[in-house]
Protein backbone atom coordinates (compact mmCIF):
# COMPACT_ATOMS: atom_id res chain seq x y z
CA UNK A 1 0.00 0.00 0.00
CA UNK A 2 1.41 3.37 -0.98
CA UNK A 3 0.67 6.35 1.26
CA UNK A 4 0.66 9.81 -0.19
CA UNK A 5 2.13 12.81 1.61
CA UNK A 6 -1.28 13.93 2.96
CA UNK A 7 -1.99 10.50 4.43
CA UNK A 8 1.41 10.40 6.16
CA UNK A 9 0.90 13.88 7.65
CA UNK A 10 -2.61 12.96 8.83
CA UNK A 11 -1.33 9.72 10.40
CA UNK A 12 1.47 11.57 12.20
CA UNK A 13 -0.98 14.22 13.46
CA UNK A 14 -3.35 11.57 14.80
CA UNK A 15 -0.48 9.74 16.51
CA UNK A 16 0.71 12.97 18.12
CA UNK A 17 -2.82 13.82 19.31
CA UNK A 18 -3.33 10.34 20.76
CA UNK A 19 0.00 10.55 22.61
CA UNK A 20 -0.83 13.98 23.95
CA UNK A 21 -4.22 12.78 25.26
CA UNK A 22 -2.70 9.66 26.86
CA UNK A 23 -0.05 11.79 28.55
CA UNK A 24 -2.79 13.67 30.38
CA UNK A 25 -4.42 10.44 31.50
CA UNK A 26 -1.28 8.51 32.45
CA UNK A 27 1.06 11.24 33.78
CA UNK A 28 1.46 11.28 37.57
CA UNK A 29 0.12 14.29 39.40
CA UNK A 30 2.74 16.82 40.48
CA UNK A 31 0.80 18.01 43.50
CA UNK A 32 0.29 15.63 46.40
CA UNK A 33 -3.12 15.98 48.05
CA UNK A 34 -4.47 14.66 51.29
CA UNK A 35 -6.88 15.51 54.03
CA UNK A 36 -6.78 19.15 55.06
CA UNK A 37 -5.72 18.17 58.60
CA UNK A 38 -2.50 16.54 57.41
CA UNK A 39 0.61 17.89 59.10
CA UNK A 40 4.28 17.50 58.39
CA UNK A 41 6.90 17.02 61.05
CA UNK A 42 10.48 18.11 60.39
CA UNK A 43 12.88 16.39 62.75
CA UNK A 44 16.59 17.09 63.20
CA UNK A 45 18.80 14.67 65.12
CA UNK A 46 22.29 15.57 66.29
CA UNK A 47 24.60 12.68 67.13
CA UNK A 48 27.66 12.36 69.32
CA UNK A 49 30.92 12.32 67.33
CA UNK A 50 31.22 9.19 65.20
CA UNK A 51 27.62 8.00 65.72
CA UNK A 52 25.90 9.30 62.56
CA UNK A 53 26.44 6.08 60.58
CA UNK A 54 25.00 4.00 63.43
CA UNK A 55 21.94 6.27 63.56
CA UNK A 56 21.47 6.01 59.78
CA UNK A 57 21.76 2.21 60.04
CA UNK A 58 19.09 2.11 62.73
CA UNK A 59 16.76 4.15 60.55
CA UNK A 60 17.52 2.07 57.46
CA UNK A 61 17.21 -1.30 59.19
CA UNK A 62 14.43 -0.68 61.73
CA UNK A 63 12.96 2.77 62.28
CA UNK A 64 11.45 3.43 58.84
CA UNK A 65 9.62 0.10 58.86
CA UNK A 66 8.26 0.77 62.34
CA UNK A 67 7.16 4.28 61.28
CA UNK A 68 5.18 2.69 58.44
CA UNK A 69 3.59 0.23 60.85
CA UNK A 70 2.27 3.12 62.95
CA UNK A 71 0.89 5.33 60.18
CA UNK A 72 3.86 7.67 59.98
CA UNK A 73 4.57 8.48 56.33
CA UNK A 74 8.24 9.07 55.54
CA UNK A 75 8.58 12.04 53.20
CA UNK A 76 12.37 12.09 53.06
CA UNK A 77 15.66 11.74 54.90
CA UNK A 78 18.67 14.04 54.48
CA UNK A 79 22.21 14.57 55.70
CA UNK A 80 23.71 18.07 55.41
CA UNK A 81 26.48 18.44 52.85
CA UNK A 82 28.53 21.10 54.63
CA UNK A 83 30.38 21.52 57.92
CA UNK A 84 29.76 21.88 60.75
CA UNK A 85 26.69 19.59 60.63
CA UNK A 86 27.59 17.12 57.86
CA UNK A 87 29.14 14.56 60.22
CA UNK A 88 26.59 14.61 63.03
CA UNK A 89 23.13 15.51 61.70
CA UNK A 90 20.20 13.57 60.25
CA UNK A 91 17.15 15.52 59.09
CA UNK A 92 13.90 13.88 58.10
CA UNK A 93 10.27 14.67 57.45
CA UNK A 94 7.18 12.67 58.35
CA UNK A 95 3.55 13.21 57.40
CA UNK A 96 0.72 12.50 59.82
CA UNK A 97 -3.04 12.54 59.23
CA UNK A 98 -3.39 15.26 61.88
CA UNK A 99 -1.59 16.70 64.89
CA UNK A 100 -3.65 14.41 67.12
CA UNK A 101 -2.72 11.41 64.98
CA UNK A 102 0.94 12.39 65.30
CA UNK A 103 0.71 12.19 69.10
CA UNK A 104 -0.95 8.75 68.88
CA UNK A 105 1.54 7.57 66.24
CA UNK A 106 4.51 8.55 68.39
CA UNK A 107 3.04 6.94 71.51
CA UNK A 108 2.45 3.67 69.64
CA UNK A 109 5.90 3.85 68.04
CA UNK A 110 7.70 4.38 71.36
CA UNK A 111 5.80 1.45 72.93
CA UNK A 112 6.42 -0.92 70.00
CA UNK A 113 8.51 -3.93 71.14
CA UNK A 114 10.44 -3.91 67.84
CA UNK A 115 11.43 -0.27 68.44
CA UNK A 116 12.34 -0.88 72.09
CA UNK A 117 14.59 -3.76 71.03
CA UNK A 118 16.18 -1.92 68.07
CA UNK A 119 16.88 1.16 70.20
CA UNK A 120 18.40 -0.86 73.03
CA UNK A 121 20.62 -2.88 70.68
CA UNK A 122 21.78 0.18 68.73
CA UNK A 123 22.60 2.10 71.92
CA UNK A 124 24.52 -0.62 73.78
CA UNK A 125 27.66 1.56 73.41
CA UNK A 126 25.87 4.80 74.27
CA UNK A 127 23.09 7.01 72.92
CA UNK A 128 22.95 7.84 69.21
CA UNK A 129 21.53 11.34 69.70
CA UNK A 130 22.49 14.34 71.80
CA UNK A 131 19.72 16.62 70.55
CA UNK A 132 16.34 16.05 68.87
CA UNK A 133 14.34 18.91 67.40
CA UNK A 134 10.79 18.63 66.07
CA UNK A 135 8.80 21.23 64.14
CA UNK A 136 5.20 20.62 63.03
CA UNK A 137 4.18 22.38 59.83
CA UNK A 138 1.21 22.84 57.52
CA UNK A 139 1.70 23.53 53.82
CA UNK A 140 1.36 27.06 52.52
CA UNK A 141 -1.50 27.56 50.04
CA UNK A 142 0.97 27.64 47.13
CA UNK A 143 2.89 24.51 48.19
CA UNK A 144 2.97 21.60 45.74
CA UNK A 145 2.77 19.16 48.62
CA UNK A 146 -0.42 19.25 50.68
Query: CA 61, 72, 90, 112 torsion: positive or negative?
Result: negative
Tell me what pLDDT residue 146 has: 83
pTM: 0.74
What is the distance between the alpha carbons of residues 15 and 11, in angstroms, rounded to a whole number?
A: 6
pLDDT for res 120: 98
All residues at 6 or more sequence positions from 87 whose CB lies less than 8 Å from its CB, including other chains: 49, 52
Ranges of the chain with pLDDT below 70 = 1-36
Write the pLDDT tens digit of every residue in 29-58: 444 444 568 999 999 999 999 999 999 999
Amino acid sequence: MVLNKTSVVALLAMTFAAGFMLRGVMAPAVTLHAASDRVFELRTYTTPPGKLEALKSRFRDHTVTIFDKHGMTSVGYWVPMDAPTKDDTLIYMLAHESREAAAKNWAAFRADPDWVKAKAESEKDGPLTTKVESVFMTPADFSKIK
